[in-house]
């Protein structure tokens, strides 16, 4: 039977999510990869336990996570049943819906009230929960009126199936549009989940990060290591057993200029006493709009290494200048 680390809350940093009363750990665990039925359940369970032992209280899922779809939520429910469910009130559990999920016109990727309502019911059943802490619309749907999507999320809260709502992959303009409806409904909208990293700074160019600060919601960032580029894996090229080796789009990005850039960033990280991945996570958290960074993992050891980023979040002016010079 699992017994959590008694000192799990001593080191983790908890940030307030926008102007809400909810605090999230600086580092959260995303269950997109390595938690479905095609993966080792024992390893998945160990990763969840390791994360919780480190003070990671936020576990982020979606209806389509895992192979087959939904299996990450099912496995997470099993992990809860095997000794963690008693700690439910110490966790912030989120899930999302918006991408293609099941056959037919009501399960394809959309933001309709029917799809979002059915999906949340399915997610709760898979995880054995009465409610999730945050329910996200996973991706904007241009074919569904934004008012309908907002009302569906608001209804989830009114039904007691979610405490807060969020959106994911929405840019500044799309966020402003749905926020106007949330404000009218007084929906507890607190968070947007965009991609963001040293190598993917679209939220800065778009102005989403500044808009978040101004309007009192937080950002939960995914892909902070840019598909593994910002680790030590590619410093000497593209190894045959890597994710990028088998994905042509990623492999094409790892040219000589990118490898050189990664090695220069690694030198800065080493001078800070960090690994490249730790510095990349610290850099993301340096943006005041970012409440939490979502890390994926394939092993408990990766979680232990990445969570160390919280020990060195400060950057000197010269370090920021050097990083900006490298990233140009």
Contact partners, residue 273, CB within 8 Å, separation at least 6: 312
Strands 23-25 and 14-16: antiparallel
3-class state of residue 282 by DSSP: helix
pLDDT digits (tens, 9 = 90+) for 223-275: 999 999 999 999 988 776 666 556 667 778 899 999 999 999 999 999 999 99
pLDDT average, residue stretch 190-215: 98
pLDDT digits (tens, 9 = 90+) for 129-179: 999 999 999 999 999 999 999 999 999 999 999 999 999 999 999 999 999
Domains along the sequence of the chain with CATH:
14-227+275-311 (3.20.20.100)
Contact partners, residue 76, CB within 8 Å, separation at least 6: 31, 35, 48, 59, 61, 127
Strands 189-193 and 218-221: parallel
pLDDT digits (tens, 9 = 90+) for 52-61: 999 999 999 9
Mean pLDDT of all residues in the chain? 96
Give the whole-angstrom CA distance, residue 53 versus residue 87: 12
């Amino acid at each position: 039977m699992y017994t959590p680390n008694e000192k799990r809350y001593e080191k983790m940093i908890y940030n307030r999510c926008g102007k809400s009363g909810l605090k999230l750990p600086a580092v959260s665990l995303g269950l997109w990869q390595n938690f479905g039925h095609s993966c080792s359940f024992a390893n998945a369970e160990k990763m969840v336990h390791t994360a919780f032992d480190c003070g990671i209280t936020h576990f982020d899922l979606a209806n389509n996570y895992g192979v087959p779809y939904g299996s990450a939520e099912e496995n997470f429910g099993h992990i809860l049943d095997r000794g963690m469910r008693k700690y439910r009130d110490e966790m912030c559990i989120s899930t999302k819906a918006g991408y293609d999920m099941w056959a037919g016109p009501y399960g394809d990727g959309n933001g309709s009230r029917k799809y979002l309502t059915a999906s949340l019911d399915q997610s709760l059943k898979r995880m054995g929960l009465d409610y999730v802490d945050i329910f996200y619309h996973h991706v904007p749907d241009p074919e569904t009126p934004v008012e309908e999507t907002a009302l569906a999320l608001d209804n989830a809260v009114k039904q007691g199936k979610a405490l807060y709502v969020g959106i994911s992959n929405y840019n500044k303009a799309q966020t402003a549009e749905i926020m106007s409806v949330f404000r009218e409904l007084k929906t507890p909208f607190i968070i947007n989940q965009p991609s963001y990293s040293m190598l993917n700074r679209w939220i800065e160019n778009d102005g989403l990060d500044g808009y978040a600060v101004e309007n009192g919601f937080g950002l939960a960032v995914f892909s902070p290591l840019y598909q593994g580029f910002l680790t030590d894996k590619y410093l000497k090229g593209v190894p045959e057993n890597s994710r990028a080796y088998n994905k042509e789009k990623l492999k094409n990005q790892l040219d000589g200029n990118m490898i050189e850039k990664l090695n220069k960033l690694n030198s800065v990280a080493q001078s800070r006493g960090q690994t490249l991945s730790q510095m990349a996570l610290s850099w993301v958290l340096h943006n005041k709009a970012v409440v939490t960074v979502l890390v994926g993992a394939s092993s408990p050891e990766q979680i232990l290494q990445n969570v160390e980023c919280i020990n060195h979040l400060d950057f000197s002016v010269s370090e920021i200048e050097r990083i900006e010079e490298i990233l140009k």
